[in-house]
Structure 1
């Protein structure tokens, strides 16, 4: 089993109040509506289990679900780290952060996410697998941004 990772980082100034963006980013019912491929989130306090739609990487279908420990600094920062339950093997996981700060009449939103998956393919496939992962993450990020802005406009 080989491990493959891809990281995406982005910064945007969103025309919305920080409190409204925070409310969307910390709501496990709203996030799946905003995030492509995210089917649902089950929560137990600061432990969130993310269920993603099936992905095809290197000719292999992966049904990723993974457990994250979430750390919230109210209205300014969300950090998450892959922490599978004891005795459970999860073939995918994420780690990263969201940071929010007032900027002008909007909110600066910085995001960094690293997604890691384990696949039963040779590590030699890394360039191809990680290129596909990166492209999928970029597309997901673009759609998430559009969906977040649409959600915030509807909530205003």
Structure 2
């Protein structure tokens, strides 16, 4: 098994109130409806178990499930770090931050996300595998953004 990672960052001014965005980002039932690839979230307080749909890379297909320790700083920051249950091995995990702050015409929303997966592929395949992961993350992020704006009722 080899570990492969990809990181994405984005920042945008969302023409909506910070409270509305915060509610969407902290709703484990709504997030899968807004996020392609995310099937569902099992939330247990500040520990969330994320269930993703299938991702294919170089003939290997996985449907990652991973547990994240969520830290919520009301209406300003959500950070998460991979935190599998004791004794469990998870082959994927995420690290990241959502940051919200006031903007002149809405809310500044910054997202940083690093996804790591372990796959039965040689480490030499890293450039191709990590490009596929990053492309998938970019497409998912684009669709999430469009769905969030639609949910918020803004263009």
- TM-score norm. by structure 2 comes to 0.98
Structure 2: 5+ residue stretches without partners: none
Does the 8 Å CA contact 2:46/2:70 hold for their aligned counterparts?
Answer: yes
- Residue matched to 1:90: 90
* Runs of 4 or more consecutive aligned structure 1 residues displaced over 6 Å after TM superposition: none
Does the 8 Å CA contact 2:18/2:101 hold for their aligned counterparts?
Answer: yes
Distance in structure 2 (CA, Å) of the matches to 1:58 and 1:72: 37
Distance in structure 2 (CA, Å) of the matches to 1:152 and 1:113: 22
- Residue matched to 1:56: 56
Distance in structure 2 (CA, Å) of the matches to 1:36 and 1:92: 17
Distance in structure 1 (CA, Å) of the matches to 2:139 and 2:130: 14
Does the 8 Å CA contact 2:13/2:105 hold for their aligned counterparts?
Answer: no
Matching of residues 1-156 of structure 1 within 5 Å = 1-153=1-153
Distance in structure 2 (CA, Å) of the matches to 1:129 and 1:50: 21
Distance in structure 2 (CA, Å) of the matches to 1:105 and 1:20: 14
SS in 2 for 1:72: strand
Distance in structure 1 (CA, Å) of the matches to 2:133 and 2:50: 17
Distance in structure 1 (CA, Å) of the matches to 2:85 and 2:124: 30
Give the RMSD, CA atoms, in angstroms. 0.8
User: What is the CA deviation profile of residues 12-63 of structure 1, one whole-angstrom value per residue up to 9, with x for unaligned ones?
Assistant: 0001000000000000011001111000000111000000001111210101
Instruction: Tell me the CA shift for residue 105 of structure 1.
Output: 2.3
